[in-house]
Chains A and B, each alone.
Chain A
């Protein structure tokens, strides 16, 4: 028998962003049935996945996670983390598990049934599906996946749907650490398993996964409560200073999606065209009319990153009006001088790029405003086959630019104001998304193996 409603407490937009204790306590006072948090995003770029690093610091992540585990233990409700460690690959999940074990040891938690759901897809699986023509780019400008690009990719993850997470709940898991998951899936899994409508469950998940970002004012550093019922769901912030309005929740439905009401997810399409948002008083918004339909064949989104170069960069300011007027010409002349200086290097081994903040750095070629400011921030980078080439060439770009005698110059002592010494910053490797594709699968459960562990050891 299904209960009348099912409540989920979402503490924040990304695990490690932080959330106020008072909001979390208010949320817990509403007796949620589960605590669920999304830890992932591709928004921070391909480096997190490619270099196997997290979006947030270990300290911030542990601080948030330990509060969730403590509440889950005290109340005997499940805690689910989606896209562990940010990108949800094995290294990110392992990192999360090591933090979890630390939390268990420090708090003497024993005998906690924990499920780990892996989202790494073996390259052989991807290669076989590629061969079979069952992989395609997510949008028009995604470069086609080739065997070569796949080989250069650090590792591939797929976004899981609710199915494996619901299975782990069914098997009695009290803590579930998911690898890469479709952001709403962990929320949807709990609500679907509790017997509620998948359309409402996914739509509620889509809102809750960002914490209180759907409020007015919106923030990813505060909690949300979602309560799903037979024919609707309601969202509200436990922090009395944050309120949901029709506009704020509808606006959030638009957030970072390519279409306003058709939201493709693993094996399904969420259709929000006819859903309605009503203000139910006291900062509560009630949503109904969400629909979902299967999208067959079942396809999962794959993500992978490859290393493309190494970078060294410099930030400097320019205040001289003549240099500002001629900035792009001078930058071209500097580049030419460097090309001549390093004639012994293969020209394909490095690139020099200039970004003129105060002119067109934010939009680049898409910028239509041509007026420059009275001062410019000039960022220049050298991206190269090796870090050594990047740093060598960048140092020469810096010294050449600093002293370059452009026609008509009166400021003959130097062209650049460096805010820092040393001025050159070794950035390390640069990555790109080499895999951002949909892959057909016959079995969305088998792609995401579930491993059960006893956290803190069995007693």
Chain B
């Protein structure tokens, strides 16, 4: 088992507009990408649990081999970016729950 954090080349979060946050996991090699994409560990159900979301809050999970990347986009279910009660204006520090996902 290896942590996702140790396999990924880039693992980040960012606004995709003020009403969504997008998580990018990018790899250096096609082997790394396939290892993670094929592991079955990144599912809608798993992401929802890690982020305390409903599965319907997750707008996209896309595995894209040509760019060696996985993109997960979820809706901000509370306040939108930059208004009262929203805690991360740029959405730049919402990636940490992904780090410890274990990949066989």
Contact = CB atoms under 8 A, between A and B. Distances in A.
A57 interface: no
Contacts of A361: 87
B76 interface: yes
A439 to B, nearest CB: 15
B6 interface: no
Nearest to A355: B87
A255 B69 contact: no
B73 A259 contact: yes
Contacts of B78: 364-365
Interface string A128-154: 000000000011111000000000000
Contacts, number: 149
B87 A139 contact: no
B4 to A, nearest CB: 15
Given A257-B22, A364-B78, A139 B84 contact: no
B66 interface: yes
B45 interface: no
A431 B82 CA distance: 7
Interface in B5-60: 9-10, 14-20, 22, 24, 26, 28, 50-53, 59-60
A276 B93 CA distance: 30
Contact of B18 (A45, A255, A273, A368): A45
Contacts of A142: 19, 80
A46 B86 CA distance: 12
Interface stretch (A62-70, A104-112, A246-254, A334-342): A246-254
Contacts of B75: 139-141
Contacts of A436: 17-19, 80
A275 interface: yes
A368 B52 contact: yes
A209 to B, nearest CB: 15
Given A259-B60, A261-B67, A251 B87 contact: no
A381 B82 CA distance: 14
A383 B83 CA distance: 11
Contact of A256 (B9, B22, B52): B22
A381 B79 CA distance: 16
A254 B69 contact: yes
Contacts of B85: 353
A250 B69 contact: yes
A258 B93 contact: no
A260 B84 contact: no
B97 interface: yes
A250 B67 contact: yes
Contact of B84 (A42, A251, A308): A308
A272 B78 CA distance: 31
Contact of A366 (B15, B17, B69, B94): B94
Most chain B Cβ neighbours within 10 Å, of A45, A277, A351: A45
A201 B64 CA distance: 22
Nearest to B53: A366
B84 A353 contact: yes
B101 to A, nearest CB: 12
A385 to B, nearest CB: 12
Nearest to B14: A256
Given A140-B75, A258-B17, A260-B62, A364 B22 contact: no
24 contacts: A42-B15, A44-B89, A45-B89, A46-B18, A46-B83, A140-B75, A141-B80, A247-B28, A250-B26, A250-B67, A251-B9, A254-B71, A256-B16, A259-B73, A260-B62, A260-B64, A260-B71, A353-B84, A365-B52, A383-B84, A432-B84, A433-B19, A433-B82, A436-B17
Given A140-B59, A254-B24, A259-B73, 14 more contacts: A44-B90, A140-B75, A247-B10, A247-B68, A250-B26, A254-B67, A254-B71, A260-B71, A353-B85, A363-B88, A364-B87, A366-B52, A430-B84, A433-B18
Interface of A: 42-47, 138-142, 247, 250-251, 253-261, 272-277, 308-309, 311, 351, 353, 355, 361-366, 368, 381, 383, 430-433, 436
